[in-house]
Structure 1
Amino acid sequence: MTTTTADALSTVPLIPRDHIFGNPTRSGGKISPDGNWVSWMAPHEGVMNVWMAPSDDPENPRRMTSATERPIPAYFWSPDSTSLLYIQDKGGDENFLLYQVNVASGEERCLTPFENTRAQIVGASDTIKDTILVGINNRDPRFHDVHKLNLKTGELELVYENNAYVGFESDDSLTLRWAIAQNAAGGNDMFEIVDGVVAEAPRESIGMDDALTTSMAGYTTDGSVLYWLDSRGRDTAALYAEDTATGERTLVAEHDKADIGGTMRDMKTGVVQAWSATYLRTEHHAIDPEIGAALAWLRKRLDGDFGIQSRTDDDRKWLVWNDPLTAPIRAYLYDRNAETLTEFYNTRPELEGAPLQPMHAVEITSRDGLTLPSFLTLPPACDQDGDGVPTAPVPMVLLVHGGPWARDAYGYNRAHQWLANRGYAVLSVNFRGSTGFGKSFINAGNLEWSGKMHDDLIDAVEWAVEKGIAAREKVAIMGGSYGGYATLVGLTFTPEVFACGVDIVGPSNLETLLETIPPYWEPLVKQFHERMGNPTTPEGLAFLKSISPLYKADKIEKPLLIGQGANDPRVKQAESDQIVSAMEKHGIPVTYVLFPDEGHGFHRPENNIAFNAITEEFLSRYLGGRAEAAGDTVAKSTAQIPNGAEHLGL
């Protein structure tokens, strides 16, 4: 960082970590189907819980749940508006059970009271209000048996004992219509179900190339139309409507650069009224004129991006989120009949007036000609003309998303804002293998985990250096899950590029990663083998070892910080233990932070804040940015530092 840039940054206040990574004041707002209630997540004694209030008196709240250790990750309303449902696991093990709280009495109960079990929603109905379909893997952890769950009595009725299928599709009558299994090619076979019997032969067979971009998207209420998101015979996933009587398909919507991402359906008929697609930014396209008018009305009144978070059964009231991009995200109650828009909450009022920075959507060209949709945030006070290039190169953090079958997107990003405020440019790249940009882009990443997928990241660094954005000697790589793996690849395969790395729950050995996947992922393992490498063949095993950072640990030259949850079911603790041991064997220093009560990522705010305090100190030491004093944040967490505490200076 040049003296001029550093001097300018010194006039900008540090945003406290707590303001970015602490609990929001409110989040996750919903309106009940009958419109009588509003609900949201808010902290109670430091833990995120579910609250509700009358929709005509939202300032008269009731707390409905009593989580004391881990935040509730997700909740929703029962179709009949009489109860709130939520999921919760233990210590990050991802064995999510389903719980219910009665709105009238406040009585709470577990609806899936089983040990070592993961419950999932299979189907819900717009006309059958007191029953849903749930999948439960308590009999065989690999497969979810389908049950009808009576939300009034709590009774579970077995609908289908599952010994083969990845998933199911049901209609509004809660009748199972399809069973889905992985095929030998790594794609999906889709079998029709008639009178509870699965057909012997699949009606639809999808190859691996289309497996991540083709799926059923639900029936209309009367079952006359089945919607598909389908990339077969094309590149991006388009929306089709299939007449279930004749089998005829009609193209409803398509986008040339992005997969169709979401739809709005008529609350009574289930007919698609609008759709969205996200390339660099999200585009909303209305089919129904009234929905189009409502979206246009909102667009005139909201700055930045917005979306519909929740709707009533009569579709009169919507709960709308709004991301102004350089101000806290807000939620509004929109009454379509009265044409009123009322602020419901501000997620983080403490960030009001904070020096939040704009995000720049950019396209980067890879060495072999692929366009990589990417997102850049610059430190404050370094880009006076707002063109996305600082007056002088600054330190940069390459922030790599997980998955890898996921994507980065435009909008408020707390990691971007935090790191930019500390003095770093932050670049997030949708490297090949990322989802949302068509099947060719995904499949270009097959068997390229440390190859062309990593080349894309290096090409993005070169782009940033050539543009005058990043100082070549001050670029860090950081990420979680696949992003953690990419960090380890960066420091082992291309050790000259990065000044340091931060690996969060990243696998170091792809052989052991595949040996220890959760049992409920086993029906999908063929796709892992085809996209990553196949450990069941000598050639495949040798290939997986060749792209595993563990076997190149001796090549690490630059400082490395590792964060891991002890209960992670996806990337086991052994993945971090192995690379730490290998580095120690070669006399290479490493800092290792372990959280005994976390899983795949750090969800307790005190733990997340503690790891970020450590990360700030680490990056400040090796890149030269700013850091807020750690104080007692690490002591307040459950963090254990079995290796390298002496490198931190905390």
Structure 2
Amino acid sequence: MIPKKIIRGILVSLLAMPSLAQQNIPVPDNLVTEGIPALPVTLVSDVKSYTESRGASLVEWHPLKKEMLIGTRFGNSNQIHHVAFPGGDRKQLTFFDEPVGSATFDPVAGSYFLFLKDIGGNEFSQIYRYDFSNKKITLLTNGKRSQNGGIRWSEKGDRIAYGSTQRNGKDRDIFVMNPLDSASKKLVAQNTGGGWGVVDWSVDDSKLLISEGISVNESRLYMLDLATGNKTRLLPEKDERSSFSGIALTEDGKGLYLITNKDNEFNRLAYYELANKKINYITNIPWDVEDAELSKDGKQLAFITNENGVSKLYILSTANNQYSAIANLPTGVMGGVSWSGDSKSVGITYVTYNSSSDVYEYNTDTKALTRWTESELGGMDISTLQEPKLITWKTFDGKNISGFLYKASSKFTGKRPVVINIHGGPEGQSLPVFQGRSNYFLNELGVSIIYPNVRGSTGYGKTFVDLDNGVKREESVKDIGALIDWIAQQPDLDKDRIMITGGSYGGYMTLAVAYLYSDKIRCSLDVVGISNFNTFMKNTEAYRRDLRRVEYGDERDPKMAEFFEKIAPLNHTDKIKKPLFIVQGGNDPRVPYTESIQMKDKIKQNGGTVWFLMAKDEGHGFRKKNNADFQFYATIAFVKQFLLN
């Protein structure tokens, strides 16, 4: 029998414990928070059906068997899995705390694969080898503060070529290595700039087709002789502002397939004859060709177009360069193409507005579309989701700007609050994809979401991409001002309840809107945003700096530096009158954490309302589920307090 004294002690302890409704979500040691109120633990169960969904993406086909590697998450981060047949078990192969999303089989036997992994989101990716025979993982690169990737296999399959910044952290050189012997690593091209990469090997493995990226609208192709180290420029022959993205060299060695915007607003598929230096344009579709891959036997080429945000798949015969669109595919967005080893099937990653990303196979012989994965949605109710609507509005200079409107669930009546979510890049594009956990705002809070594609976005021609360059930077912000005015004219949207959010460059846009249109919004949420282009240029990683100068302007020019100070949100914090939530990764190599810290401190000095969240183990956005969950909980609290109330 238990003594009454002990029973009384237990009862007292139980009574002293807070009820579930009184408990709060603990803040893990890896997170830094300021200004965020205690978040009730009940929030976790309230939104759980929106935090447990997952997606899958095709990584690569096995070279000999109809099997594949995919990327998906069953724990806290995306890892590499093996799938043996459509609908088969997703067998996890890598088990890291850090996400792993890129991998490639050895093309001879598929007895091992190579993959990339960084630490804490710092983007200093290293190359590793996974051996199926013993499940051993071996580090192949130096493991230090260098970025390695862009792996391309030799035709013989015994070597890889890849880009690396290991020499000085700034310039991306080309190396060749036997992955079974990391000591065989050899520098074959010393380059200047961070935009270099490997496209393909020649048939006899004596040369490499390599590329130099300068900006979204300018890139070059070279042939690198491995014996001499000499680089010969192929395209353009002389400097010009056009892009040339290589796909592959042909089996006969006479030419190469590429994507280019030369002499056109949009990226077209083309063929380049090496002997007479002639470009033959293949497609004349008034939209961008986004991705393409040559089949293993060289007889077919699959390519994807982006037609106002919707993907279309085409198959081309290399015998006559005739192509046709694949009919009866679901309306959605494709994330690249990959040919199977038998050259009969194209693997694609597909996502729609009401389905998370999954892997499909299109067989060019049978014309059948087969689903390989079916990712769980975690109990999310998608029955009330509405197809996003393509919207357009006139901006300050009369141009038409477009975007996608996701309407709140029809169970809500009256004018709905609006979140304007601005993409990063700035050379990016918002697409009509699955909203994941953001469906909570549509379904449960009755908030509509608009994804604008302001000037500077890709997908609408190279002239449109250039409209925000340099001193025209704030003209893209004015496009958002025009969108706010458009919202005021809509009978089902509430102009008095608008929140602005965005990540990276979209974070800069968020901060700029926060001070330029403070009187027209309720609040804003900045994720890894730029607060001053001068300090950003100084602190971003060296291998990115020249590439960013082409887009934003050169801070070394006193006039441009003066312009950057003029438009810096950091210098206009006194005009930010509405609550601001700042989210940052502590290891971000693109937009360093100092951009967010200085913004947060200045807002606080001015007596403004600012919430701050930083994950010490993340980089350019949160990729680990536990961190993304906490950000989601805090965002819901922020939306409820400042947008809805």
TM-score bracket for the superposition, by shorter chain length: 0.7 to 0.9
Using a 3 Å threshold, how does the CA distance of structure 1 residues 157 and 307 change in structure 2: closer, same or farther?
closer
Q: Counterpart in 2 of 1:204?
A: 236
Q: Counterpart in 2 of 1:72?
A: 100
Does the 8 Å CA contact 1:17/1:609 hold for their aligned counterparts?
A: no
Does the 8 Å CA contact 1:397/1:478 hold for their aligned counterparts?
A: yes
For 1:177-326, what aligned pairs fall within 5 Å after superposition? 177=208, 187-188=218-219, 192-194=223-225, 195-198=227-230, 204=236, 209-210=241-242, 213-256=243-286, 258-269=287-298, 272-288=301-317, 295-296=326-327, 299=329, 302=330, 309-326=337-354
Secondary structure, in 3 states, of the residue corresponding to 1:451? helix
**How big is each residue's C-alpha offset from its partner over 1:131-153, in whole Å with a ceiling of 9 and x where there is no partner?**
22122222221123322222334
Structure 2 residue aligned with 1:419, among 441, 446, 449? Answer: 441
Does the 8 Å CA contact 1:37/1:52 hold for their aligned counterparts?
A: yes
Q: Please report the RMSD computed on the Cα atoms of aligned residues, expressed in angstroms.
A: 3.3
Does the 8 Å CA contact 2:296/2:342 hold for their aligned counterparts?
A: yes
Q: Counterpart in 2 of 1:104?
A: 133
Q: CA deviation at 1:420?
A: 1.7
Does the 8 Å CA contact 1:122/1:146 hold for their aligned counterparts?
A: no
Q: Counterpart in 1 of 2:159?
A: 131
Q: Counterpart in 1 of 2:422?
A: 400
Please state if 1:587 is matched with 2:607: yes
Letter matched to residue 460 of structure 1: L
Letter matched to residue 430 of structure 1: N
Q: Counterpart in 2 of 1:518?
A: 541
Q: Counterpart in 2 of 1:461?
A: 484
Does the 8 Å CA contact 2:402/2:452 hold for their aligned counterparts?
A: yes
Q: CA deviation at 1:450?
A: 4.7
Q: CA deviation at 1:488?
A: 0.7
Using a 3 Å threshold, how does the CA distance of structure 1 residues 138 and 376 change in structure 2: closer, same or farther?
same
Does the 8 Å CA contact 2:224/2:231 hold for their aligned counterparts?
A: yes
**How big is each residue's C-alpha offset from its partner over 1:550-571, in whole Å with a ceiling of 9 and x where there is no partner?**
0001111000000111111111
Letter matched to residue 283 of structure 1: K
Letter matched to residue 246 of structure 1: N
Using a 3 Å threshold, how does the CA distance of structure 1 residues 413 and 209 change in structure 2: closer, same or farther?
farther
Secondary structure, in 3 states, of the residue corresponding to 2:470? coil
Using a 3 Å threshold, how does the CA distance of structure 1 residues 136 and 25 change in structure 2: closer, same or farther?
closer
Q: Structure 1: give runs of 5+ residues left out of the alignment.
A: 1-13, 384-390, 626-650
Structure 1 residue aligned with 2:507, among 484, 491, 495? Answer: 484
**How big is each residue's C-alpha offset from its partner over 1:235-276, in whole Å with a ceiling of 9 and x where there is no partner?**
2222221111111221101332x3221224232116535442
Letter matched to residue 484 of structure 1: G
Q: Counterpart in 2 of 1:140?
A: 168
Please state if 1:569 is matched with 2:598: no
- Matches of 2:530 and 2:641 in 1, distance apart? 25
Structure 1 residue aligned with 2:385, among 323, 332, 356? Answer: 356
Letter matched to residue 295 of structure 1: I
Using a 3 Å threshold, how does the CA distance of structure 1 residues 493 and 149 change in structure 2: closer, same or farther?
same
Using a 3 Å threshold, how does the CA distance of structure 1 residues 322 and 541 change in structure 2: closer, same or farther?
closer
- Matches of 2:258 and 2:323 in 1, distance apart? 22
Using a 3 Å threshold, how does the CA distance of structure 1 residues 449 and 100 change in structure 2: closer, same or farther?
farther
- Matches of 1:209 and 1:117 in 2, distance apart? 30
Please state if 1:496 is matched with 2:523: no
**How big is each residue's C-alpha offset from its partner over 1:197-246, in whole Å with a ceiling of 9 and x where there is no partner?**
43588862676853xx4433332233222223222332222222111111
Select between 146-155 and 540-549 the one with higher mean Cα deviation.
146-155
For 1:629-640, what aligned pairs fall within 5 Å after superposition? none
- Matches of 2:87 and 2:517 in 1, distance apart? 58
Using a 3 Å threshold, how does the CA distance of structure 1 residues 308 and 294 change in structure 2: closer, same or farther?
farther
Letter matched to residue 370 of structure 1: K
Letter matched to residue 326 of structure 1: N
- TM-score after normalising by structure 1: 0.83
Q: CA deviation at 1:335?
A: 5.5
- Matches of 1:276 and 1:325 in 2, distance apart? 18
Using a 3 Å threshold, how does the CA distance of structure 1 residues 338 and 487 change in structure 2: closer, same or farther?
closer
Secondary structure, in 3 states, of the residue corresponding to 1:143? coil
- TM-score after normalising by structure 2: 0.83
Q: Counterpart in 2 of 1:380?
A: 409
Please state if 1:446 is matched with 2:469: yes
Q: Counterpart in 2 of 1:51?
A: 81
For 1:137-176, what aligned pairs fall within 5 Å after superposition? 137-165=165-193, 166-168=195-197, 169-173=199-203, 174-176=205-207
- Matches of 1:70 and 1:163 in 2, distance apart? 30
Number of aligned positions between the proteins: 594
Secondary structure, in 3 states, of the residue corresponding to 2:405? strand
**How big is each residue's C-alpha offset from its partner over 1:374-412, in whole Å with a ceiling of 9 and x where there is no partner?**
1110111169xxxxxxx6421000000011111111222
**How big is each residue's C-alpha offset from its partner over 1:489-547, in whole Å with a ceiling of 9 and x where there is no partner?**
0111221121100001101111010011212224xx1x533432322122111101011
Using a 3 Å threshold, how does the CA distance of structure 1 residues 596 and 459 change in structure 2: closer, same or farther?
same
Using a 3 Å threshold, how does the CA distance of structure 1 residues 608 and 252 change in structure 2: closer, same or farther?
same
Q: Structure 2: give runs of 5+ residues left out of the alignment.
A: 1-43
- Matches of 2:208 and 2:362 in 1, distance apart? 36
Does the 8 Å CA contact 2:302/2:313 hold for their aligned counterparts?
A: no
Structure 2 residue aligned with 1:609, among 606, 614, 629? Answer: 629
- Matches of 2:138 and 2:48 in 1, distance apart? 33
Letter matched to residue 150 of structure 1: N
Letter matched to residue 577 of structure 2: E
Q: CA deviation at 1:463?
A: 1.7
Q: Counterpart in 2 of 1:33?
A: 63
